[in-house]
Amino acid sequence: MTLLFIADPLDSFKIYKDTTFAMMREAQGRGHALAVCEPQHISWQRGSKVVAQVTDIRLTGDAIDWYEAQPQRTAALVEFDAVLMRKDPPFDSEYFYATHLLEQAERDGARVFNKPRALRDHPEKLAIMEFPQFIGPTLVTRNPADIRAFHAEHRDIILKPLDGMGGMGIFRVGPDGLNLGSITETLNRNGTQSVMVQKFLPEIIDGDKRVLVIGGKPVPYCLARIPQGTEVRGNLAAGGKGVARPLSARDQEIGEALGPILHERGLLLAGVDVIGDCVTEINVTSPTCFQEIFDQTGCDVAALFIDALEAAMAAHGK
């Protein structure tokens, strides 16, 4: 197969931990050809197929000069056996428009993973609200009075923007309510932006677990991202320590319940975040943690992903 990865610039990759790199390495090892582009390289002209300025690459195995690139060329997305959308958040207007271009490419006949419509339909924080049986007390609102009432009821809360990533913009407000007003104003931008408010889960001390779901099935190990020092956030980007662990019975239950639903909707890969027994986010844009899990457990998550990708392509005759 020839695979097109839509991603951030290759020179920004930290290949010792990058999940997209792990996917590429596994795919090339199986004989698949690789090409890359960035979202801004995609275009669509009246009466034509969706095309991109793509670069064919080969991984070298070197830690520094880790890829060789051919001259950029124009190719229709339908010419590739599979297109993998791996652009990191934020899910801003340009990301949104990219999903529309990718959906048109699907109408041309391209196979895109994760499915563009599913990316739009599953905003990573809001998506959990569909599954109340698996989440803790949660509120989405622009209204400061609603936030104050939620705090009065639950006393210890987390506030976060709906479009954040890597732990960005997350605040904890304890029983004293200190700075609740100013934090609310900062996050909701004086009532113009919605905020997610959740009851603080003390189980965060044991880690914010990333449960990966591939092809509708949970990976046997999760990565618990454990806050360090006085930090409340476990995100690796915020300095959290990643510790791989076997799934707990509850983690397995969550993965088995959500996996088939997400897969049916076109999400070949999702990252379900769990604190204690509660789902806190469902990540669908570019879930990570493949290499951390492999390095600590030997569970080859990239191989599981390429297995699922090959199975999906075989099921559709590609």
Say whether 225 is catalytic.
yes
List 25, 111, 209, 233, catalytic entry: 233
How are beta strands 208-214 and 217-218 bridged, if at all?
antiparallel
Ranges of H-type helices in 30-179 = 93-108, 116-121, 144-154
Is 125 an active-site residue?
yes
Cis, bond preceding 188 (omega within 30 deg of 0): no
Catalytic residue of the set 26, 225, 251, 292: 225
User: Which two three-digit tokens encode residue 264?
Assistant: 């049916």
Which of 86, 125, 199, 209 is catalytic? The answer is 125
Q: Which position among 114, 188, 235, 283 bears the catalytic label?
A: 283
Reply yes or no on whether 115 is catalytic. Answer: no
Q: Active site includes 281?
A: yes
Active-site annotation holds for 273:
yes
The active-site residue, picked from 115, 160, 199, 209, is 160
Catalytic one among 114, 210, 235, 251? 210
DSSP per-residue string spanning 166-231: TTTT-EEE-TT-TTHHHHHHHHHTTTTS-EEEEE--GGGGG-EEEEEEETTEE-SEEEEEE--TT-
| Residue in 124, 208, 251, 281 annotated catalytic | 281
Is position 189 annotated as part of the catalytic site? no
Q: Give the residue among 258, 291, 263 at the shortest CA–CA distance from 274.
A: 258
Cis link prior to 90 (omega < 30° from 0)? yes
Identify any residues that bridge with 287 across adjacent strands, giving them in sequence order. Answer: none
Residues known to be catalytic:
125, 160, 210, 225, 233, 273, 281, 283
